[in-house]
Amino acid sequence: MSSLLEDQLSTVQLLQAMYPLPSELVLSDSTASYISSTVDDPAVPVPKAELEAFELAISLRINDDPNALLDVLILLPLLKGGVEAGGGRAVVRPRQPGWMTRAGYEALISGPSFRLMTNDEASSEYILDQLDAISVAASELLAERVSGTAEDGGADDQPDGAADSLERVWFWFPSLSSREKRRDLVTYAEDSGLTGFVLAGKPGLLCVEGDGREVDRYMSRIKSESWSDIPPHQKKVTERLRRPLPDATHRKFSDMQDITDRIPHYGQYAHRGEMGEVKRLMDQWGVGEDFGAVVMNAGT
């Protein structure tokens, strides 16, 4: 077992000990499966890292308020060249909660306490320091929000999107395969408070729900940041459907996820998803009508 893998495993175990409740810490399916099959079972030899990174989310309760939760995504690279070539350094990314304004969230992630991990810093030390810093900064933002609500009735301190139009937007890709780009589609959406899914293949599909303006900012950021290494003529994505949602109860997705591995694929390179299974999932989630309109419109 490599020293980097050992270090990252130790960090995961430390965090699990500090956040023991299922609601406090959640491992991604791929991370839980990897640890279970190659680490927890001593009879199974540990292979070279097949995962690029361990991925987990920690839910922080701000000011001990059960209604003021803040999720933090943590990535622990298993390869020196993994996670955007960070040299094995951990990544901590707070997600914008519904109670926090967009301006507050941007202040949180751009504040002096929110920083990158240094080369001489242990992953566990860095993560715990950042969790503390995020909790303190979020606590101050929550206090400001509560104070502002008390003074003016909250009319001017609603979270972004609370009074704006909610929409479900579908995007169509001629081809989508890169795991790194798919991960960005998920994490950027989480950062923006959007929910939905991404499906890789030929074609690829992206569906996001949230404030329509936030969806536009999200896609703009994807093109300018995540796709900055792609030539402009290859940044092919088409918006196929934008459906207004009357209110939050009409949202069909509670989180953002990559469903590629849930769909059987076929073809020489296994890059074509079984659309019958995709349709079944869409019907199950209550967006089958939208999906049909997107697929019928794909050739136009």
Q: Which domains does the chain have, with CATH numbers?
A: 3-152 (3.10.110.10), 166-296 (3.30.70.100)
Confidence of residue 209 (pLDDT cuts 50, 70, 90): very high
Phi, psi of 218 (to 5 degrees): -60, -50
Q: How far apart are CA 2 and CA 209, in angstroms?
A: 41
Distance between CA 258 and CA 96 in Å, rounded?
A: 19
Among 119, 103, 123, 120, residue whose Cα is nearest residue 111: 103
Q: Using 50, 70 and 90 to split pLDDT, how confident is the model at 186?
A: very high
Summarize pLDDT for 116-163 with one digit per residue, the tens.
Answer: 888 888 899 999 999 999 998 998 888 887 665 544 554 444 444 444
Matching residue, tokens 């794909």? 298
C-alpha–C-alpha distance, residues 83 and 268, integer Å = 28
8-61 tens-digit pLDDT: 899 999 999 888 888 899 998 888 888 887 665 555 555 544 678 899 999 998
Query: How far apart are alpha carbons 11 and 122 in whole angstroms?
Result: 9
pLDDT for 195 equals 94
**Residue type at 254?**
S
- Residues with Cβ within 8 Å of 31's Cβ and at least 6 positions away in sequence, in order, are 12, 51, 54, 55, 56
Neighbours of 60 (CB within 10 A): 19
Residue 269: burial class (beta carbons within 10 Å; 0-12, 13-18, 19+): exposed
Lowest mean pLDDT among 56-70, 92-106, 270-284: 270-284
**Distant-in-sequence, close-in-space partners of 23: CB < 8 Å, separation ≥ 6:** 59
What DSSP character marks residue 159?
A: P
Confirm whether pTM is higher than 0.85.
no
Size of the chain, expressed as the number of residues it contains: 300
Distance of CA 11 to CAs 8, 93, 190, 211, 213, Å?
5, 16, 23, 36, 38
How many angstroms separate the CA atoms of 108 and 98, rounded? 14
